[in-house]
Structure 1
Amino acid sequence: MNEQDLLELFEDRFVEPIFVCHIERPLADVLGSLTNTVVLSASTIEKQQQEHPELGIDEYLRLPTILSSGLAYQHQLTRIRFVYHSSKAGHHGYQAVIKRTEDRRELFVISFHRMRPRKIMALAGRPLIIRQLYS
């Protein structure tokens, strides 16, 4: 994922979803996914701009880091929630949710927003943690 791809997605010039990153195979296996490639679609960006207009391209560029090194826990059978906070991220952290499609062939980012660090720490005590927080 790069800035130009995101800009085109934000401006609705991309029809196909863009590559975000690969998640670890064990995380994809938890979802029963045939792939570990995560993508982001124009429809998700459109929805996100309505719900979280404060998020800019610079923050979307953090998605690979959030998905590769954040706390991960199973949100539903087909979803994993990733939460991340770093002192470099400033006074807030982030939450991103990925979802496996019904045919098990794709993993999409379906939600992304800022999150207060104390909420992230509160999640650390919840069950079904798949990967611990690194930072």
Structure 2
Amino acid sequence: MAQLGFFLGALGGLLSVAFGAFGAHALRDRLDAYSLGVFETAVQYQFYHSLALLIAGLLLIQFPASMLLKSSVVLFVLGILVFSGSLYILSLSGVRWWGAVTPLGGLAFIAAWACMATAGWQLLGS
């Protein structure tokens, strides 16, 4: 799971930079200000949580049995897919109901951070 978290974090960072550049250059003149802002939010959250995945992967090297860290990896990946994915679809398609899916990804992010915080309290505080 450590290797997977690290790999997916690095891949997510790579894609964040690529999507950010795509948005800044290819979409700037094709999307309205609202849709471009939504796209940029998706990139920003994907990047932040890709870094969190890298951290979780590194922590799992030190604490491979931590179910909380493993859970945080799964929840960060789920959050990126659902939160950022729904915003990418919303911004590119204009189909507004995708915005109703986004908070589910936000809940996954919150749960992932809660797992990481609890793991930190348990593993690093002892």
Same fold (TM > 0.5):
no
User: TM-score, normalised to structure 1's length?
Assistant: 0.29
User: TM-score, normalised to structure 2's length?
Assistant: 0.30
Computing the radius of gyration from Cα coordinates, the structure with the larger value is 2
Q: Which has the higher contact order (CA 8 A, sep 6+)?
A: 2
More strand by share: 1
